[in-house]
Amino acid sequence: MTRRLVSVDDAFNVPDNLNVRDVNLPDRLQDTALSATFAPKWKASTAYTAGQNVTAPDGNVVRAKANFTSSPLYDSSNWEYGTIPGGANVPTAKSATDTRAGVWEYTHNSKTGYLYHLLAGSNFGGGAIFAIGHDADDGTGTALLAEKANGKGLVIDQRSTKTSASAYGFHATNASTAAPLVRLEQVVTDAAPALQVLALGSPGTDQVLASFGDGSGTAGRIYGDTGQLRWMRNVEVRDKNSSTLSRITVRGDDGVANPSPVHHDRTGIEFRTYAGSGTSYWPKRVFHTGTQLKIQGSATVVGVGTVPGAWVDGLTFEFNTGAAKLGFYGATPAAKPTGVAVDAAAIHAALVTLGLIAA
């Protein structure tokens, strides 16, 4: 049998004078078999039936809306995004009447491998490997990870092969003036931490766990080796409301039964020293009010969180119109005595005025 080469045109059409016996073609190349696997290209002046799938000139798989014959030019109004042939459960568009949970539903039920494995080669030069655009204003999310088992939801494994400081594992930018970029919520009582940041292994000296900055550079850091916070900007603590003071507290660690805390709020600094028995503490404070600054102590011991019934003045400073006054042991602050005669009576009177001795 003589064999000859046959040339075809760009549309893979064979010459008109060539006889081809379809029965001799392999089954996998028959028109019916091909259409079951691939959506054929759209053709002009061709009869189509409702639901028939083709590949449109723009490369999308589309489905005929009704029975019709195509025009010489492709008309998108006759088509809708359809299904991949042979995959009725994998629509490329989901209608309002489609009540299934997802447009695409695949299950990977193996301990190894991936459901999707997308790679960007070394010559990948722009755009994104995977992109989602969300244009709906109905409050729905762009992506949902429904975590129902003891697996990790989203894992970013940043490898040591990354050497650029700007090759971030996770990068998010916010151009909105209304919506926060990240929001974390706890929705049950006694929920686990919404955010946990750890420096595992053996952190190096001054290893930075978290860094914060502004237009002027680094604003602060948290260090992984010590947990220390270093801040290079002003820190402001405001009261919750007019009747509830906000404070900064320093105390012993969780293993200390009687921690002797130190509190700092907008009225001053308060020290609580364990009294040596039970849950009693001696409160002391440096307190300011109006033109006065006082060093005070509680008249009695109290619980660690109990407000003393009365404070006793030990020393009172008063600064008014540039004149400094002092008062000891609860005495009304007085100016420095001047012109005191060098005799016992005058010195005695000056000391009584300051409250250093009683009359």
Query: pLDDT digits over 316-335, tens only?
Result: 999 887 789 999 999 999 99
Task: Let me know the angle formed at the C-alpha of 125 by 123 and 130, rounded to the nearest 5 degrees.
Answer: 105
pLDDT band at 87 (very low <50, low <70, confident <90, very high): very low
Q: Which two tokens stand for residue 292?
A: 């006065």
Determine the pLDDT at residue 174. Answer: 96
Domain ranges of the chain: 16-76, 248-354
pLDDT surpassing 70 at residue 38 = no
Query: What was the pLDDT predicted at 63?
Result: 84
pLDDT at 18 over 70: no
Query: Which residue's structure tokens are 């940043």?
Result: 158
Q: Which residue has the higher pLDDT, 305 or 39?
A: 305
Q: What does the pLDDT read at residue 58?
A: 80
User: In this predicted structure, what is the pLDDT of residue 188?
Assistant: 96
| Res 14: pLDDT | 62
- Mean confidence (pLDDT) of the chain: 85
What pLDDT is attached to residue 12? 59
- In the chain, DSSP assigns E strands to 47-48, 53-55, 61-64, 68-69, 79-81, 208-214, 217-223, 229-231, 248-250, 262-265, 268-274, 280-289, 292-298, 302-303, 311-320, 323-328, 334-335
Question: In the predicted model, is pLDDT for residue 143 greater than 80?
Answer: yes
Asked if the model's pLDDT at residue 20 lies above 60, the reply is: no
Looking at residue 308, the DSSP 8-state letter turns out to be P
Task: List Cα–Cα distances, 286 to 81, 138, 268, 292, 308, in angstroms.
Answer: 75, 55, 6, 11, 14
Lowest mean pLDDT among 18-22, 256-260, 268-272: 18-22
pLDDT digits 0-9 by tens, 186-242: 999 999 999 999 999 999 999 999 999 999 999 999 999 999 999 999 999 999 999
Share of the chain above pLDDT 90, in %: 53
pLDDT of residue 70: 94
pLDDT at position 97 over 60:
yes
**Distance between CA atoms of 327 and 313, rounded to whole angstroms?**
9
Say yes or no to pLDDT of 359 above 80: yes
pLDDT at 285: 96
The pTM assigned to this predicted structure is 0.64
pLDDT at residue 34 greater than cutoff 70: no
The answer on pLDDT for 90 being more than 50 is: no
pLDDT of residue 23: 47
Amino acid 125: pLDDT: 75
Amino acid at 153: G
Give whole-number Cα distances, 113 to 108, 110, 118, 146, 209, in Å: 9, 7, 12, 20, 32
pLDDT reading at 85 higher than 50: no
